[in-house]
Amino acid sequence: MPQSGCDNHVYWSDTVNLFRPVSRSKKRKLDILLASMGLFLVWWLIGLAWIAATIDTRRNGLFTQQRVGMNGRAFTLYKIRTMRDAPGVTTTVTCSRDPRITPLGHLLRRTKVDELPQLWNVLKGDMSFVGPRPDVEGFADSLEGEQRQLLRVRPGITGPATLKYRDEEALLDKAADPEGYNRNVIWPDKVRINLHYLREWSLAEDLKFIWRTLAG
* Three-class SS of the chain: CCCCHHHHHHHHHHHCHHHCHHHHHHHHHHHHHHHHHHHHHHHHHHHHHHHHHHHHHCCCCEEEEEEECHHHCEEEEEEECCECCCCCCCCCCCCCCCCCECHHHHHHHHHCHHHCCHHHHHHHCCCEEECCCCCCCCCHHHCCHHHHHHHHCCCEEECHHHHHCCCHHHHHHCCCCHHHHHHHHHHHHHHHHHHHHHHCCCHHHHHHHHHHHHHC
Decide: 74 and 140 in contact? Cβ < 8 Å. no
pLDDT exceeds 80 at position 87: no
Domain membership flag for residue 199: yes
Domain that holds residue 137: 18-215
Domain membership flag for residue 177: yes
Domain membership flag for residue 110: yes
Global pTM exceeds 0.85 = yes
Domain membership flag for residue 11: no
Distance CA 159, CA 21 (A): 21
Q: What is the pLDDT of residue 7?
A: 43
Distance CA 132, CA 91 (A): 21
Domain membership flag for residue 1: no
Domain membership flag for residue 9: no
Domain membership flag for residue 12: no
Q: What is the pLDDT of residue 46?
A: 98
pLDDT exceeds 60 at position 216: yes
Domain membership flag for residue 96: yes
Confidence of residue 91 (pLDDT cuts 50, 70, 90): low
pLDDT in tens, 3-57: 444 444 445 665 678 888 999 999 999 999 999 999 999 999 999 999 999 999 9
Average model confidence (pLDDT) across the chain: 88
pLDDT in tens, 94-123: 766 778 889 999 999 999 999 999 999 999
Q: What is the pLDDT of residue 140?
A: 77
Of 82-91, 115-124, 165-174, 183-192, the poorest mean pLDDT is in: 82-91
pLDDT exceeds 90 at position 179: no
What is the average per-residue pLDDT within 85-95?
68
- Tell me which residue of 187, 185, 163, 162 sits closest to 174, measured CA to CA: 185
Q: What is the pLDDT of residue 11?
A: 53
Q: What is the pLDDT of residue 84?
A: 87
The number of domains in the chain is: 1
Distance CA 135, CA 166 (A): 16
pLDDT in tens, 65-79: 999 999 989 999 999
pLDDT exceeds 60 at position 2: no
